[in-house]
Amino acid sequence: MTTFNILTLPGDGIGPEVLAEAVLTLKQIASVGAYCNTPLPEFHIEEALVGGAALETTGVPITGKTLDNARKSDAVLLGAVGGPAWDKLPHDKRPEQALLKLRSTLGLYANLRPVRISGPLLAASPLKREVVQGTDILVVRELTGGIYFGEPRGRQGDRAVNTEVYSVTEVERIAYRAFEVALTRQKKVTSVDKANVLESSILWREVVSQVHKEFPEVELSHMYVDNCAMQLVRNPRQFDVIVTNNLFGDILSDEASMLAGSIGMLPSASIGGVKNRAGKPAGLYEPIHGSAPDIAGQGRANPLGAILSVAMMLELSFGLSEAARRVERAVEAVLEKGTRTADLAQAGEKVTGTHEMGEKVRVELERL
């Protein structure tokens, strides 16, 4: 039987709390062979420090050994990094640098962030039911280029500089990823840029348009980022796949997450060209929320984004689509029964804690 190696990086704040529930859910999936039409592989799970937790122990946000272990793993599960305790550190020492190093070291150039509106959570969305119902968006964010990585950068006297840089190759590969995934969905891609003012966006639009010629069955439209931000709250159902650069994707996917009622609901996958022993992408999986230090250690965090990240890992890195669907159905069943963590609860609704929410998901898994 194949054994897959998974590196877990709990991180900071609520990261360890939500990741613990994700790992318990993964272990339950692995223990019940009936969750798949074929026997499940074994999962070897190893844990390491990252972010502020690593800084406190090792003096760096991520060690070379942890990066090596990540390279050797078939997939990586991450909780969250960062917090006010490290906000005054130099830029290259901040916990968030661990994420940038993981992405660049592992070549994780594509960040996939699904935004699906769960029926039971329609009341939790800040938008009207008739506006948000039926929304199903996949944001495909370029992850290793753009202003987060461009040079020159830094402080120059009384000026601060960051540089937006993209090459044809970088835009091509994220465009191919977006069009390929669109073929499995509604065959619509919206490419988001700021081509009316930015040279990097002019290149972006040209290259995406060129790649589109190889996917004539997919509908392509272009949209400026400011208009896209407005359209996401005006008419989110118009979107299927949104492909955009690193900065715009970061902002737009967080905005889109609130359509679902809470940022705590959304998973993500970061993938590149490296294959694991299953011949699938060796990805990094994490909920899109931050470390939320204000509620850390209180058992109030929503673990569903982390648990749904496990579902994405099962499908994308291990090819276990049926197991992934079962996790998603278990989450939906829990929500249909009215179980709500603090971020989802409406006035008068009972609030469920982090571990209890995870346990309820695992109970539903047993029933499926």
Q: Closest Cα partner for 192 from 177, 175, 176?
A: 175
Mean pLDDT of 118-144: 93
Question: Looking at domain 126-260, which CATH architecture does it have?
Answer: 3-Layer(aba) Sandwich (3.40)
- The CATH number of 1-116+262-368, from 3.30.470.20, 3.40.50.80, 3.40.718.10, 3.30.800.10, is 3.40.718.10
Residue 33 in this model has a pLDDT that exceeds 60 = no
pLDDT per residue over 52-61, tens digit each?
A: 999 999 999 9
Q: What's the CA gap between 253 and 153, in Å, rounded?
A: 25
Domain residue spans of the chain? 1-116+262-368, 126-260
Q: 4: Cβ–Cβ under 8 A, 6 or more apart, which residues?
A: 41, 42, 43, 44, 74, 75, 276, 277, 278, 317, 318
Q: Using an 8 Å Cβ cutoff, are 115 and 136 in contact?
A: yes
Q: Using an 8 Å Cβ cutoff, are 268 and 115 in contact?
A: no
pLDDT per residue over 294-333, tens digit each?
A: 999 999 999 999 999 999 999 999 999 999 999 999 999 9
Beta bridge partners of 271: 110
pLDDT class for 2, splitting at 50, 70, 90? confident
- Point out the residues that are catalytic: 148, 194, 226, 250, 254
Q: Could you check whether 1-116+262-368 and 126-260 share the same CATH topology?
A: yes
